[in-house]
Chain A
């Protein structure tokens, strides 16, 4: 190897080793440029939407079961969100009721991966819900429908997307007052 080539070779290999170590230890960071510039974005979008579907499915299960936490470990949400969900269930439970939700539709509005460790998803959620008596599951309210835009903020924890926060956002869609199962 000529002298000039040797001078270039070491930094080149060093950068290569750096990337290889990075791909093992900081995978999210090294994949981010690809996601940001389109390649891999569709896959990440699908992962985020699937995570959100799982979140809503388990949220639904928690609510309908009156707070049975059997799926807690699979619930893709940070501690504060989990706490919020169970606080809500406890509040309804204390009133002798159970709130049964059913998701009618979830329309993705916007998905953006804002950093290697954060993402935001805006969806228009449409739900049916009904309050039932906790003891005999008799309905105590008519079946109602709701539609609302929600922005979910995701954080990456141990390589998994988790719902870190959510807030309502204005999504201009004709108001839907009643859905059917």
Chain B
């Protein structure tokens, strides 16, 4: 039994378990371009991490019983470092949300969360955003008024809150052919990399793509037999009209129902429906991140240094 414990917790076994993990993280992150969390989520990685933790725990216990405290501390340090990684993976949370004037946060998007992160609600309401101060806004956070600046992080109950943008959400009004209003809402246009934002009304299946006129875009063109992505440069004249004119593309299934630039206040018609947009209300995009604690990391490094020093001293004696 002793021999088994000794062998199972030897440096050879620890190195053997650690090596494929390190290689996998390096290959996954630096070669494949995946996030560390994606690699950490692989079944085989979790299995090897559990095995490594078990081996380290056996080793620490064996060293303690042999009164080799320096080496035991070193092993505990390694365990703490590994647990820090497990904690960061399991309890991470990062997402974005939109908050309109007088509203609470919308559903999270671009969300990244660990398997053990519990759902939480964010008691925040946007109370003021003035056009003369485009980089700041006032929010009511947990019944306390706070001023937030774009790009600056506000810590709150273990979360880091950052306003990433302050924009205007145009008012879109959908009505039927008789002019009867069906739906209306301030639409928080969340433009993607290609400069397009998509939204849908609840009552109709149409997908409404909004883009700013004159924005540069990428177009696929055929050159010989191959397709190449070409960049159409931005049109600065058209860009000046942003806010007054939007490009709307309305699709239902495969069918394009409407595709043209639209002026604010003008009504467009498609498939028996009318749509117009008006001046909107301010909204902010908030990045919510869990501020992870690094106590285990510090403890691990501290234990390893102490353990190493103790082991070296003992060997010198």
Contact = CB atoms under 8 A, between A and B. Distances in A.
Interface of A: 7, 10-11, 13-15, 18-19, 21-22, 25-26, 29, 32-33, 36, 63, 84-85, 87-88, 90-91, 99, 101, 109-110, 115-116, 122, 124-125, 127, 129, 146, 148-149, 167-173
Given A116-B34, A149-B220, A170-B218, 20 more contacts: A11-B12, A11-B15, A11-B16, A18-B21, A18-B44, A22-B44, A25-B42, A29-B28, A33-B32, A87-B205, A88-B252, A90-B205, A99-B255, A101-B254, A122-B227, A146-B255, A170-B220, A171-B219, A171-B220, A172-B220
Interface string B45-72: 0011000000000000000000000000
B19 A15 contact: yes
Nearest to A87: B205
Contacts, number: 106
A148 B249 CA distance: 12
A165 to B, nearest CB: 9
A33 B205 contact: no
Contact of A167 (B27, B209, B229): B209
Contacts of A167: 196, 198, 209
A170 B194 CA distance: 11
Contacts of A22: 24, 42, 44
Given A88-B253, A91-B252, A14 B42 contact: no
A14 B17 contact: yes
A63 B253 CA distance: 10
Given A18-B24, A33-B31, A172-B219, A26 B19 contact: no
23 contacts: A10-B13, A11-B19, A15-B23, A18-B21, A18-B44, A19-B20, A21-B43, A21-B47, A25-B47, A29-B28, A36-B32, A87-B205, A88-B252, A91-B204, A99-B255, A109-B227, A124-B220, A125-B254, A148-B254, A149-B220, A168-B209, A171-B220, A172-B230
Interface in B198-234: 198, 204-205, 209, 217-222, 227, 229-230
A63 B252 CA distance: 12
B256 interface: yes
A35 B185 CA distance: 45
A135 B292 CA distance: 61
Nearest to A148: B256
Contacts of A18: 20-21, 24, 44, 48
Q: Which of B38, B217, B254 has the most CB of A within 10 A?
A: B254
Max chain B C-beta neighbours (<10 A), residue from A14, A22, A124: A14
Closest 3 CB pairs of A and B: A18-B20, A14-B16, A25-B43
Nearest to B20: A18
Given A129-B255, A171-B220, A88 B12 contact: no
Contacts of A10: 12-13, 15-16
Interface string B4-21: 000000001101110111
B297 interface: no
Contacts of A101: 253-254
Nearest to A90: B205
Contacts of B141: none
A21 B49 CA distance: 14
Contacts of B256: 146, 148, 168
A21 B45 CA distance: 10
Nearest to B47: A21
Task: Identify which of B19, B23, B205 gathers the most chain A CB atoms within 10 Å of its CB.
Answer: B205
A146 B254 contact: yes
Best-buried of B12, B229, B255 by chain A (most CB within 10 Å): B255
Contacts of B291: none
A88 B200 CA distance: 12
Interface string B279-291: 0000000000000
Give the interface centre of B28, B33, B196, B227 by most chain A CB atoms within 10 Å.
B227
A33 B220 contact: no
A122 B228 CA distance: 12
A22 B44 CA distance: 5
B16 A172 contact: no
B251 interface: yes
A16 B317 CA distance: 41
A124 B23 CA distance: 40
B19 A14 contact: yes
Contacts of A110: 220, 227, 229
A110 B218 CA distance: 13
